[in-house]
Structure 1
Amino acid sequence: MGPSDECLLYAELLANIRQISLAASLPTPCDASTQLALSADGQTVQLKHGRSSFHLTLPAKASLGAKLLPIQDQQKGRTSLAWRLPLDATSLSTSHQADPVPWSATDLDPSSGVACRQCRAVVVPSGAVKSWKDLPSENWAEMMEFWHCHKPDHKHRTDHGEESGEADDRTLAARGYGASSAISAQEGVGFVDLTTLLLAESDCQNVTLGFFDFRAVALTLLKWQIACASASCVAPGIPECLAATIVSTISRCGAAKSLITPLPETIRAGEEHGVARGAIHIWVLNSSIVYSSNGTSRITPAIKLLYRPISRGEAHKMLEEINCDAQEINLPAQAIGKVVHHLEESNALLPPTERLFKEWRVGLLTRWEFKA
């Protein structure tokens, strides 16, 4: 059977309204042979069209058991069909759960070494890192000032006659409360961010991946380029790490739009591979969906978004505007090209009528899923 004879099935869990959205795209108009049936357990659907039959596992269990789903009169003769299936009462408690943070500190094995995922060369020897610690959010210093209405150890005057404000500022900075405070690498300690691991240079060897962080005096290793023993049997990729960053950005500042731009120190290497010419403008529609498609073999948690590739110049111009409503997210230049490829592949899983919105394309960015 050629690609032109294939039927596309796509289902999306709509947990907020307790329904499953199901769409089918047919190679030829709907006719008397077209039928859609739900299995007795409510987990799968079977589409028959012409002499072909297609199956899809739903992202959650539907409450209608062993039922032939009707095709409405207005859908007859069309190539695009759609249904809404009621969600089973037990599905919300047992449905797909996604952890938005890939490889948190508690997931990583303290005794584990770190290796390059591609060539398996050891980057951090086993035992070099004694403990893993999660880094705070990007606005941690500002939040400390907000949480403490009265600064810790507040005194009106010191023994040396200093004004209380000056003494307090120095005390707070020494304890890590000041806005000028910065995280620096510690030997034997691995710091974990949403997308990277931060390690002391003395704990690393054979480093040809990642980059040096001069502010933290540390080596920054990208999670999607390394292998490390963890509680999850699945290692995160670029989409999962980016999705975690987007979710964190929305939680922190409520911005639905983001500009994915290349890290300056990675642009030259990206240009050598022909992938550093642009950026990505994204607009999040739903930060937590679960979908399935007969174009892929798994049920996938994802962020549903609109995206459009743009030039770096256009991205910088947008960021300089006073009324810019997008937050900037930096990724290595080569990673941006892979994100675009991932979004294009996900766009092809959607029904043709749902792939475009004006100048935007619709994409599904895979979220991290913990698998023990």
Structure 2
Amino acid sequence: MSASNVALLYAELLANIRQISLAASLPTPCDASTQAALSADGKTIQLKHGSSSLHLTLPARASLGATLLPIQDQQKGRKSLSWRLPLDATSLSTSHPVDSTPWSATDLDASSDVACRQCRAVVVPPGAVKSWKDLPSENWAEMMEFWHCHKPDHKHGEGPGEEPGKAEDKTLAARGYGASSAISAQEGVGFVDLTTLLFAESDCQNVTLGFFNFRAAAVTLLKWQAACASASGAVPDIPQCLAATLVSTISRSGAAKSLITPIPETIRAGQEHGVAQDAIHIWVLNSSIVYSSSGSPRIKPAIKLLYRPINLDEADTMLEAVTCDAQEIDLPAQAIGEVVRHLEESNALLPPAERLFKDWRVGLLTRWDFQA
């Protein structure tokens, strides 16, 4: 049965205005048999249309339980219906958590091994990592410059024979200041950022996935390819890692638009697996929503966004333009293919009238959730 012949319910929590947006898509026009009712506890919607019945758990509790939702005169004879439900006063304090980061250092178990999620081969043996540490944001060096108008041990004068600024730059570089500074791998320590895990080469074995830095003798593993014991018991996937990166990018730069481009070294591998070598242009509409859909089994926190696949030449042209308002985010080519599939699937969960905006498609990028 095609999607156009199946009724669809979609609900989205609008916490800022204390309402729940509810939309119904019907396979045939609304008629006298069409009814939508809120359960007595305010948690569930039942939609009846013709001989079919559909239930949906709302993303938060609505007030006015045991209510038959009105169908306006202008909605009669249409296939699309919509309502705004008032939010129960106690719902916000107990609503779904949406502000977590995938596998932070406090979530990971220091006694655990780290293995390949697909083949289960152990990459970091048990006990090799004594502690986990969160890496600072990628612009930490720039922020150090911003925080200190005079950096530590700043000297206005220069020593004899020194070029202006050279002696100071050497001292500051040694102390970790400046954009040329980098985080180095340490034995016994697992470093964590939004999408990767970083280890010293000496702590690793069976390394056939991830990236190897010969200069720093460090191994970087992608979170969505690794398995490790954690307090949450959950494992992050590619969309959740990208969602965390987008939230961080918005927080850091204020830019709602991003260009997701393939890491050059991964393009050939992507071609071998039949992955289209495209970029994704993304425009974030709301970085923290909670939704439920009759096409999905669970209530999910997500980022609501507009997206459009573009070729690499167009992406390069946009990034080189002086007026570019998008931040570049690099992912492996195969990961970009997975993101596109995720967004296409999420687009189908929305009512048909809400799936397109001009030449953009609307998507829901799932955020990390301990209840996954």
TM-score over 0.5 for the alignment?
A: yes
Q: What amino acid is aligned across from residue 207 of structure 2 in structure 1?
A: V
The alignment-based identity, stated in percent, is 83
Farther-moved stretch of structure 1 (19-28 vs 267-276): 267-276
Q: In the superposition, relative to structure 1, how do residues 173 and 3 fare at CA in structure 2: closer, same or farther (>3 Å)?
A: closer
Alignment of structure 1 residues 116-131 onto 2, 5 Å: 116-131=116-131
- Alpha-carbon offset, residue 212 of structure 1: 1.4
Alignment of structure 1 residues 46-195 onto 2, 5 Å: 46-155=46-155, 166-195=166-195
- Alpha-carbon offset, residue 370 of structure 1: 2.3
Gaps of 5+ in 2: none
State the distance in 1 between where 2:27 and 2:365 align. 27
Q: 1:65-112 deviations in whole A, cap 9, x for unaligned?
A: 111010000000000000000111111111111234100111111111
State the distance in 1 between where 2:276 and 2:215 align. 24
SS in 2 for 1:266: helix
Q: What is aligned with 1:293? A: 293
State the distance in 2 between where 1:73 and 1:282 align. 37
Q: What is aligned with 1:366? A: 366
Q: In the superposition, relative to structure 1, how do residues 145 and 4 fare at CA in structure 2: closer, same or farther (>3 Å)?
A: closer
State the distance in 1 between where 2:335 and 2:94 align. 34
SS in 1 for 2:184: coil
CA contact (8 A) 2:158 2:165 kept: no
Q: Say whether 1:226 aligns with 2:226.
A: yes
Q: Say whether 1:355 aligns with 2:355.
A: yes
Alignment of structure 1 residues 205-220 onto 2, 5 Å: 205-214=205-214, 216-220=216-220
State the distance in 2 between where 1:214 and 1:346 align. 40
CA contact (8 A) 1:184 1:215 kept: no
Q: What is aligned with 2:33? A: 33
SS in 2 for 1:145: helix
Q: 1:129-160 deviations in whole A, cap 9, x for unaligned?
A: 11111111111111111112332234566999
Q: In the superposition, relative to structure 1, how do residues 338 and 149 fare at CA in structure 2: closer, same or farther (>3 Å)?
A: same
State the distance in 2 between where 1:94 and 1:164 align. 58
State the distance in 2 between where 1:347 and 1:216 align. 42
Q: What amino acid is aligned across from residue 331 of structure 2 in structure 1?
A: L
Farther-moved stretch of structure 1 (294-303 vs 146-155): 146-155
Q: In the superposition, relative to structure 1, how do residues 216 and 347 fare at CA in structure 2: closer, same or farther (>3 Å)?
A: farther
State the distance in 2 between where 1:278 and 1:162 align. 49
SS in 2 for 1:244: helix
State the distance in 1 between where 2:206 and 2:328 align. 32
Q: What is aligned with 1:339? A: 339
State the distance in 2 between where 1:68 and 1:169 align. 71
State the distance in 2 between where 1:355 and 1:28 align. 19
State the distance in 1 between where 2:248 and 2:11 align. 26
- Alpha-carbon offset, residue 119 of structure 1: 1.3
Q: In the superposition, relative to structure 1, how do residues 356 and 159 fare at CA in structure 2: closer, same or farther (>3 Å)?
A: closer
Q: What is aligned with 1:269? A: 269
SS in 2 for 1:334: helix
Farther-moved stretch of structure 1 (310-319 vs 14-23): 310-319
Q: What amino acid is aligned across from residue 363 of structure 2 in structure 1?
A: G
SS in 2 for 1:106: coil
Gaps of 5+ in 1: none
Farther-moved stretch of structure 1 (174-183 vs 233-242): 174-183
Q: What is the root-mean-square deviation of aligned Cα atoms in Å?
A: 1.9
State the distance in 2 between where 1:328 and 1:173 align. 26
- Alpha-carbon offset, residue 261 of structure 1: 0.4
CA contact (8 A) 1:262 1:276 kept: no
Farther-moved stretch of structure 1 (286-295 vs 142-151): 142-151
After TM superposition, the score normalised by the length of structure 1 is 0.96
CA contact (8 A) 1:11 1:58 kept: yes
SS in 1 for 2:265: helix
Q: What is aligned with 1:322? A: 322
CA contact (8 A) 1:100 1:243 kept: no
Farther-moved stretch of structure 1 (312-321 vs 342-351): 312-321
CA contact (8 A) 2:262 2:277 kept: no
State the distance in 2 between where 1:249 and 1:258 align. 9
State the distance in 1 between where 2:208 and 2:101 align. 25
CA contact (8 A) 1:10 1:24 kept: yes
Q: How many corresponding residue pairs?
A: 372
- Alpha-carbon offset, residue 33 of structure 1: 0.6
Alignment of structure 1 residues 240-279 onto 2, 5 Å: 240-279=240-279
State the distance in 2 between where 1:253 and 1:5 align. 44
Q: In the superposition, relative to structure 1, how do residues 264 and 222 fare at CA in structure 2: closer, same or farther (>3 Å)?
A: same
Q: What amino acid is aligned across from residue 251 of structure 1 in structure 2?
A: S
State the distance in 2 between where 1:171 and 1:77 align. 75
Q: What is aligned with 1:8? A: 8
State the distance in 1 between where 2:167 and 2:336 align. 46
Q: In the superposition, relative to structure 1, how do residues 159 and 256 fare at CA in structure 2: closer, same or farther (>3 Å)?
A: closer
Q: What amino acid is aligned across from residue 217 of structure 2 in structure 1?
A: V
Q: What is aligned with 1:199? A: 199
Farther-moved stretch of structure 1 (96-105 vs 318-327): 96-105
Q: What amino acid is aligned across from residue 203 of structure 1 in structure 2?
A: D
Farther-moved stretch of structure 1 (301-310 vs 160-169): 160-169
State the distance in 2 between where 1:258 and 1:155 align. 40
SS in 2 for 1:248: helix
